[in-house]
Amino acid sequence: MKDLRPLSPIKLRRLITMETTFSFSKSKLLKIQLPESGRVTYKDSEVKGLQLRVSYTGTKSFLVYKKLNGKPKRVTLGQFPSMTVEHARKNAQQEIAKMFDGIDPNQAKKAKRNRGVTLSQCLEDYFLVHRRLAESTKLDYRSVIKNNMSEWMNRPLLDIKRNDVAAKFRHMSADKPATANKCMRVLRALFNFAHGEYEDDMGNPMILDNPVTRISHNREWNKVERRQGILKPNDIKPWWAAIDRMVEAEPSQHDTAGTLADYLRFVLCTGMRRMEAATIRWENIDFRNDCMTVVRTKNKKPLTLPITSYIKEMLKRRQAEKVSEYVFNGRGTAHLKDPKKAFDRVGEICGIRVTAHDLRRTFISIAESLDISPYAVKKLVNHSMGGDVTAGYIVWDVERLRAPIEKINEYILKQAGAIETAPVVSLENKRKKTI
């Protein structure tokens, strides 16, 4: 009579070992059935440590398993049948010999790759690790490196020396001092990252020196005055009119030009950052409560703002013709990518050149000139309250911001000639009075 009693753990382990440990041969490995799920590991009885891992997907991989300094190490050798059993045994013996000498083969392979890491590879690795970086920041970093260090993109980091960096910095500083500073700061960040990321076969940092530090050591950083661009009250009307002229000048691109026109005015009337405005989706617009939520903010905190009368009219018009999930679509259904060209076009028409951040600065200056509460201004533009204890006691909601932003919009529209003109308030004089 057959014994139906369950096997003891010891007997079960012996049975499994008998079934999975055998002398590897081509014919035997070809006959191995694929598991229904997961993977199964078989051991070679001829070379201790050589294994074959079989996946339900059909992949059969040779690997070496051995403990090194008490820690299990697995080294993949290759796939069967592309790699023969004889070749696998020979490679396994070599890897095992290395581990007997205290060498981690995986670390050695990684070190070999690290020695050849290029500037381009380092940039992409940096983005993989710093996943929370805004897409606009990634785009900015890629742009500044590729546009100014194109000849270094495929150059190993280990080959970029202090003298190379110093010469590059001085060359760039002659024509573009601000760009030179920015480029070197990005490069410095990449080398700092590389110091902690790339190791040799002993686990030590591969990059020991940050070549950008010489610039700091020699105090060579360019002194660049911070940009203080702003639309003055008398500039708003010609700049606003230039937007219409931009649309009229490109009848074949009316939809695109119209989107850019709306975007420029939207940024001025909301004070939003460039990409905050460009990435707003229709799902973030609440017409029922006349408010909108900025999801993609610099401080990662969503911000809900009132929709003014002017902005509501714009959004309703755009909604009737929407072609994308984004309020301001670029090519196809993606969001607006490069509004800088629109700023440049308007600047060429009226001679008043401003950036998105200049419009944000203008919004803040107008708010201050209208005696709007500093706390309300900070909330409208999503600035940190810092260590302001008083601000912590103020409970903000969207309705408390409605009157301030409507007041700002009314001022802008009057100066633009879009509604009945109001007396011009000198922002400069206003600031002097408040000092």
Confidence of residue 203 (pLDDT cuts 50, 70, 90): low
In whole numbers, what is the pLDDT of the chain averaged over residues?
Answer: 83
Fold of 24-103: Double Stranded RNA Binding Domain (3.30.160)
Cis-peptide into 81, omega within 30 deg: yes
Q: Hey, what are 33's tokens?
A: 């059935």
24-83 pLDDT, tens digit each: 999 999 988 888 888 899 999 988 889 999 998 889 999 888 887 778 878 888 899 999
Q: Which residues have C-beta within 8 Å of that of residue 100, sequence separation ≥ 6?
A: none
pLDDT surpassing 80 at residue 350: yes
Pairing of strands 21-22, 39-44: parallel
6-10, 292-296, 382-386, range with the lowest pLDDT: 6-10
Nearest-angstrom CA–CA distance, 133 and 122: 15
Q: What is the CATH number of domain 119-217?
A: 1.10.150
Short-list 377, 401, 375, CA closest to 388: 375
Side chain identity at residue 234, one-letter code:
N
Q: What is the mean pLDDT of residues 162-189?
A: 91
Q: Which residues contact 322 (CB under 8 A, 6 or more apart)?
A: 282, 329
Q: Which residues in the chain are classed under CATH 3.30.160.390?
A: 24-103
Q: By percentage, how much of the chain surpasses pLDDT 90?
A: 40
CA distance 57 to 36: 9
Model pTM score = 0.56
Q: Which CA distances in Å does 416 have to 47, 234, 239, 387, 419?
A: 84, 9, 8, 37, 8
The boundaries of every CATH 1.10.443.10 domain in the chain are 233-434
Reported as a single tens digit per residue, the pLDDT across 415-432 is 999 876 544 455 554 444
Cα 177 from Cα 195, distance rounded (Å): 27
Distance CA 117, CA 120 (A): 8
Delimit the CATH 1.10.150 region(s) of the chain: 119-217
> Where residue 168 falls among pLDDT bands split at 50, 70, 90?
very high
- Min mean pLDDT across 101-105, 177-181, 271-275, 386-390 is at 386-390
Q: Which CATH class is domain 233-434?
A: mainly alpha
